[in-house]
Amino acid sequence: MGKKKIIVQNQEELIKEREKVDTKLQKEVKIEPRQRTTEGQIYIFSSYNNTIINVTDAKGNVLTWASAGAIGFKGAKKATPFAASKVAETIAERTKKMGIEKVKIFVKGIGSGRESAIRSLAARGLEIDSIKDITPIPHNGCKPKKPRRV
């Protein structure tokens, strides 16, 4: 089979990667006057591959969004709780700039970033009104296949 090459990141490469992520976090958000509100809804979708967070107003109109891939994480790193917490930090900063202080959180999916995203939003000073799990669950499943005729 041959020898496997083991890739080890040194401290400089880790610092460069962290700086790349931090520069993507600093994106400015344009806020339209009609979007000014103090209450909003945050939808966290966490899959095995990525974490996506949407911020909406009370009617459900999307105000801003962020994902682990958009911030700069690639491959398997997108699915980590660390990436989800970074996404939540960017969302918290953007919502503060918009003037949203009180939020309802809706969590969907089965990924590892669910809990860390909620904790990060709470740590950033957002007032969490409620947390609701909206993951779809099959009630009776699909219809089974017909028996095979031989």
Task: Assign domain 37-133 to its CATH superfamily.
Answer: Ribosomal protein S11/S14 (3.30.420.80)
**Taking the complete model, does pTM exceed 0.85, yes or no?**
no
**DSSP labels, 3-60:** PPPPP---HHHHHHHHHHHHHHHT------GGG--SEEEEEEEE-SS-EEEEEE-TT-
Reading the block at residue 48, the tokens are: 């095995």
Determine which of 23-27, 80-84, 85-89, 133-137 has the lowest per-residue pLDDT on average: 23-27
- Mean pLDDT for the stretch of residues 19-46: 73
pLDDT in tens, 93-113: 999 999 999 999 999 999 999
Q: Residue 19 — pLDDT band, cuts 50, 70, 90?
A: confident
Q: Residue 17 — pLDDT band, cuts 50, 70, 90?
A: confident
Side chain identity at residue 8, one-letter code: V
Domain edges within the chain:
37-133
Residue 38 is predicted with a pLDDT of 86
